[in-house]
Amino acid sequence: MTISEVSKECNITADTLRYYERIGLLPAIHRTQSGIRDYSEADCRTISFIKCMRSAGVQIDALTEYMTLLREGEGTRQARKKILTEQREHLVEKLLEMQKTLDILNKKIERYEDKMLKCEQEINK
């Protein structure tokens, strides 16, 4: 697959894909004779995974570390698992915090609704 195909399929710009490769988040992608990137199915799955993690706020550094270990093979399984569980913890923490914020927002919005209702009643008296 060419960069633009992957870009469309994964909804990620070509610039970002090249950027990810440059910083080592993606491996060196296979090229055609003319030097054009040719992404494999596995590359696509990797990209989807990265996109998912990034959209949830997982830092590029952590992902890069994980991907690097993955390329290093079997011996790094423990280390990879550790990264994933760490990131899971961060995620859970963030989720709780956001839940708390959502509660506060809900209450605030409710108060706005109450106030507006009262105003209307005042007008219709």
| Contacting residues toward DNA, per CB under 7 A | 2-5, 13-16, 18-19, 22, 31, 33-37, 54, 59-61
Q: Which two tokens stand for residue 12?
A: 């990620």
**Smallest separation (angstroms) from DNA to the CB of 123:** 38
At 6, which helix (H) or strand (E)?
helix 3-10
Toward DNA, which CB reaches closer, 1 or 79? Answer: 1
Backbone angles phi, psi at 37, to 5 degrees: -60, 140
Q: Does 118 bind a second copy (CB under 8 A)?
A: no
Toward a second copy, which CB reaches closer, 23 or 52? Answer: 52
Taking residues 45 to 84 in sequence order and writing x for each that binds a second copy by CB under 8 A, - otherwise, the string is ----x--xx-xxxx------------------xx-xx--x
d(CA 6, CA 41): 10
Q: Taking each helix axis as running N to C, give the angle between helix 3-10 and helix 41-55, from 0 to 180 degrees, rounded to the nearest 10.
A: 40
Characterize 101-114 residue by residue with b for buried, 16 or more Cβ atoms within 10 angstroms of its Cβ, and e for exposed.
eeeeeeeeeeeeee
**Residue 61 binds which of DNA, a second copy, none (CB < 5-8 A, kind-dependent):** DNA
Toward DNA, which CB reaches closer, 61 or 120? Answer: 61
Residue of 11, 33, 34, 99 interacting with a second copy (CB under 8 A): 99
